[in-house]
Amino acid sequence: MMKTVELDERKRRILEAIARDYLHTAEPVGSRTIWRAYMPDLSPATIRNEMADLEAMGLIMQPHTSAGRIPTDLGYRFYVDHLMKSRLLTVKEEDIINEGLKSVHDDVEDALHQTLKILSHLLEYASVVATLNNKTRVYSGGFSKMLKQPEFSDINFARQLMHTVEEEDLMAEMVKEYTTKKGITIRIGSENKFKEVKNCSVVMSSYEMKDAATGGIGVIGPTRMSYSRVASILETLSRRLDNILED
């Protein structure tokens, strides 16, 4: 279990700036970038001092000598729990979901296939869709887009992750472990119970059939993930599956 930390407003702003900038650039974030783009009211020296404190607390790290900082797993956990803002779907995202599900009625297999296509279309991560009740069915996809992420430039690591996602029994166990009726489950890096994805983040949501949790949908990707976007898409798709399969 990760330790609990408390941050004042200034440190919260700096951590959020690092998480947001690193998400878009995949490059470590320096004090001058934060000063210019996010916090012109503070001096670079003040920001550096605050960053040193955040690093000492284990929330950010310096991946290379003389480089900027990136969030650690603990930093991302604080971001997700305390700084991440809820996000509405864009009109384009809603259109893609509506178009993908418009011909689906009460056929479970068809619904899962179409949901997987939508996830693979909308997100640049590996996607998993599963049902766990009478018959376990696990579908996965999105690998080609996932490989565009710089974190997966190591071909051996990428191949290992692809093999992991294609392991149906492992994915079924992961979906079962990470889906609850409480909504979205986010496991970041070392938080993961499964050693095969301890360098990744896993975000899962459940769907129900006749008021019983019967499966889950989710994504596996780098810890540098757009958590708010993923959560809003998974929540919407879960509700849509609930409606499609309620009968």
What is the pLDDT, as a whole number, of residue 211?
Answer: 58
Are 59 and 71 a contacting pair, CB within 8 Å? yes
CA atoms within 13 A on the CB side of 139: 17
CA 134 – CA 112 distance, rounded (Å): 15
CA 115 – CA 119 distance, rounded (Å): 6
What is the pLDDT, as a whole number, of residue 66?
Answer: 67
What is the pLDDT, as a whole number, of residue 213?
Answer: 60
Mean pLDDT of the chain: 91
Sign of CA dihedral 2, 6, 7, 9: positive
Pinpoint the alpha helices (H) of the chain: 9-25, 31-37, 44-56, 73-78, 91-101, 108-122, 143-146, 155-165, 168-178, 227-245
What is the pLDDT, as a whole number, of residue 42?
Answer: 95
Per-residue pLDDT of the chain (247 residues; tens, 9 = 90+): 556 678 999 999 999 999 999 999 999 999 999 999 999 999 999 999 999 999 999 999 998 876 799 999 999 999 999 999 999 999 999 999 999 999 887 788 899 999 999 999 999 999 999 988 778 889 998 888 888 889 888 888 888 888 888 899 999 999 999 987 778 999 999 999 999 999 999 999 998 876 566 889 999 999 999 999 999 999 999 999 988 887 6
Domains detected in the chain: 9-83 (1.10.10.10), 91-245 (3.30.450.40)
Q: Residue 231 to residues 7, 67, 84, 155: CA-CA distances in angstroms?
A: 24, 31, 11, 28
